[in-house]
Amino acid sequence: MEGICGRKGDRMIKKWYRVQKLKAIFILALAVIFTNAVVSYSNTVKLIYNQQWMIYSYEVVTQLEKIQSTLKDTETAQRNYLITADADDLKTYLAAYQQTNSNIQILSKLTAQNHQKQQWIFLLEPKISNRLNILQQEIYLRQNQGFEAVRQRILSDKDKQIGKEIQQLIHDSLELEQNLLQQGMQQSQANSQKAIVTFFIAAVVDLVLVGLLYDLLWRYIKQLQQTELALRQSENRLRAMIDAEPECIKLIARDGTILEINAYGLAMLEVESADVLIGKPADAVILPEYRAAFADLHKNICQGNKGTLEFEIVGFKGTRRYMETHAVPLRNEFDGTFIHLALTRDITQQKQAEQKIREQAALLDVSTDAILVRNIHNQILFWNKGAERLYGWKAEEAVGKNVVQLLYKDISPQLEDAYLKVMKAGEWRGELHQLTREGKVIILESRWTLIRHDNGQPKSILSVNTEITQQKQLEAQLLRSQRLESIGTLAGGIAHDLNNILSPILMSVQLLQKKLPDSQSQQILQTLENNVKRGANLLKQVLSFARGIEGKQTIVQIQPLMAEIEQIIVQTFPKSIICQTDIPKNLWYVRGDTTQLHQVLINLVVNARDAMPSGGILRMAAENLVIGEHSAQINIDAKVGSYIAIVVTDTGMGMSSEVQQRIFEPFFTTKEVGKGTGLGLSTALGIIKNHGGFVNVYSQVNRGTQFTVYLPASTFRDTHSLSLELESVTGDG
């Protein structure tokens, strides 16, 4: 590339020097021609001046000779007339006399611009006039006094003296003019020789310059011919390259007509010859709805700007195509305006692919699963509507972000193992814990597929994620129920055996109390009896939990029950614990065992007290609630219907997620030894389930715990017979 640029630069430099040499020689030739012209003009002017001066001098000499001759003829005619008195001689004299005066006037005009000649004309003219007057007087004497009188006058010295002076002046003038004429002829001859020499020198120089110019022009013409040949070859190569280009290339004039088009453009427009298109409007094949935009593009290009446009055309055989044109201005070197150079390619397949992609993307957006694509550097490339709904981030917010930083707290071994497996095997399937935009942890069933380049190198990873958080929660509840059922069965058997063991002990204690009446024995036996009864009561709770023993159920009002619990809290709990209640008066009724429900609430408030050793707020609330199908699907124990929700909230130490999963297990406790049996919540759960209800727990470490007990509300028939039930209970009591 550098060599090509260098050769191109050398050619440009040589061309520049050649042009400069031609300019210099041309300027030199012009200077020589101008100099020759000036010299020739100067010599010609001098020759013309000398010629005019010689003609002038010759006319002066001729006029002087005429004056001399006519004056002589006048004197001769006057002498003949004096001698012969012939009238013809007198006519001859008069004619010569007039001619002499005329010649004097002509000479005076010729010398009017010459001061020196005017001086001797002023001398000559009076003398000639005087001489002519004398001749006239002599004729007058001859006519009046006769020949003899005239003869005496003619022989006088005065007459001879004037004649001599005139002849001398004329002779001197002629001699002077002839000398000047001779000098002029010599000067003219010298100027002629100089002009001839200058002409020959100029002719030689011009011939040399013409030869040099001819040589340079011949070389330049040969160079132009070679350049033209190279340009023709280059044009042919360029035409072949343009015709081989798999895109439509065309030139469009400022008036919008086609100037040039390549072979691919002809095939695209479905014509066989460019003559069909040359001179025709370029927008003739463009659909009408795109022509205004194309006109704006063409106007912008002709103003010297670039532009692109997508439009649709219909070929001459009816084929529709989507086109994309990249247009640039091409300067016209003649007038500096711009024409339209367009490179247009067929994007029909691309448009169809884009449409297919949009349809597929629409299908992906319809999917309830979260579908995302990331590159091998974990940068998110695609994010469907399902992902927006699941995670909470919009596509424009997620695309370009790092998927690990966006959806995971940290990089777990499971995540690293999934990445290694998908890179090795091309796919992976498993469960992942991810974060939503609100920071909520969700459980997903994820399927990863590796997408590769054409060369087999990894390109990106397609992930399809399905949320199974509710499913996992239901599974956990089911497993917990099964575990509690197994533990209950085991605990029931143990409690039954222990109850059989305690029964004879209690009977023995009662017999000993009758046989040992002393106070010390009675005290010891009473303590023993109390402990046995306490153990029996504990076993009764275990059996109640394990077997689900149902007490006598009646219509129960929750408001008085909660008021009683509130009174116990106020009277027995530490003063550092503040009790708050929110018990509406229009609470529904429930069918259940008052004692068992009392036990449930006591267990909950006692646990709340133990969770706040330094004091806090214990809040009890209740409300009427209707559970729909969606809420019933979340909890395995919930059913569609009306419930009373009893909420017990504390601001204590809270529980971790691991502790929350085990709090309803029998004998599980976080309390110190001797401060809890671990049966309170398990018993409460058994009672709640026996009443057809369920319980939810929400707790955060150091932020408190909330238990919500859901009990089915009694039907209208049950509430209508509330008074009868209460009377029956009172009578039995």
The sign of the dihedral angle between the CA atoms of 158, 162, 165, 168 is negative
Q: What is the pLDDT of residues 194-232, one digit of tens each?
A: 778 887 887 888 788 778 878 877 887 888 788 788 777
Phi, psi values for residue 258, rounded to 5°: -80, 130
User: CA-CA distance, 203 to 16, in Å (whole number)?
Assistant: 31
SS3 category, 522: helix
Q: What is the pLDDT of residues 403-426, one digit of tens each?
A: 998 998 888 888 888 889 999 999
Q: Which of 537, 487, 527, 532 is nearest to 505 (CA)?
A: 532
**HSE value, Cβ hemisphere, 13 Å, CA-based, for 449:** 7
User: CA-CA distance, 203 to 207, in Å (whole number)?
Assistant: 6
> What are the distances in angstroms from CA 131 to CA 3, 85, 94, 163, 553?
105, 20, 14, 7, 190
Beta strands in 26-101 (DSSP E): none
Q: What is the pLDDT of residues 2-25, one digit of tens each?
A: 444 445 455 556 666 666 776 777
List the Cα angle 681/687/688 in 5-degree steps. Answer: 85
Beta strands in 468-615 (DSSP E): 554-557, 577-582, 589-592
DSSP 697: E
Q: For all residues of the chain together, what is the average pLDDT?
A: 80
User: CA-CA distance, 186 to 147, in Å (whole number)?
Assistant: 53
Are the CB atoms for 280 and 258 separated by under 8 Å? Answer: yes
User: CA-CA distance, 51 to 478, in Å (whole number)?
Assistant: 143
The first and second tokens of residue 637, run together, are: 């124990």
Angle of helix 680-690 versus helix 469-515 axis, rounded to 10: 110
Most confident of 76-85, 445-454, 496-505, 658-667: 445-454
User: Within 10 A of 260 (CB to CB), how many other CB atoms are there?
Assistant: 17
Dihedral, 414, 420, 423, 425 alpha carbons, nearest 10? -80
List the Cα angle 249/250/255 in 5-degree steps. Answer: 160
Checking 302-308 for CB contacts under 8 A at 24+ apart, the result is 302/254, 302/329, 302/337, 302/338, 302/339, 302/340, 303/329, 303/338, 304/329, 304/338, 305/329
User: CA-CA distance, 49 to 519, in Å (whole number)?
Assistant: 182
Are the CB atoms for 499 and 543 separated by under 8 Å? Answer: yes
Q: What is the pLDDT of residues 222-258, one digit of tens each?
A: 887 887 887 777 777 766 666 666 788 888 999 999 9
DSSP letters along 351-412, please? HHHHHHHHHHHHHHHHSSSEEEEEETT-BEEEE-HHHHHHH---HHHHTTSBHHHHH-SS--
- What is the percentage of the chain residues whose pLDDT exceeds 90? 20
Q: What is the pLDDT of residues 254-287, one digit of tens each?
A: 999 998 888 888 888 889 888 888 999 989 899 9
Q: Scan for tokens 């069909």, then name that residue.
A: 276
Q: What is the pLDDT of residues 660-694, one digit of tens each?
A: 888 887 767 777 655 555 667 888 888 888 888 99
Q: Which of 413, 473, 401, 411 is nearest to 437 (CA)?
A: 401
User: CA-CA distance, 517 to 515, in Å (whole number)?
Assistant: 6
Q: Give the model's pLDDT for residue 731.
A: 41
SS3 category, 8: helix
Task: Provide the whole-model pTM.
Answer: 0.38
Are the CB atoms for 150 and 81 separated by under 8 Å? Answer: no
Q: Which of 689, 694, 691, 682 is nearest to 543 (CA)?
A: 682
User: CA-CA distance, 86 to 586, in Å (whole number)?
Assistant: 186
Least confident of 110-124, 419-433, 441-455, 554-568: 110-124
> What are the distances in angstroms from CA 121 to CA 100, 108, 128, 283, 418?
14, 7, 10, 96, 138
User: CA-CA distance, 1 to 199, in Å (whole number)?
Assistant: 57
pLDDT at 723 over 50: no
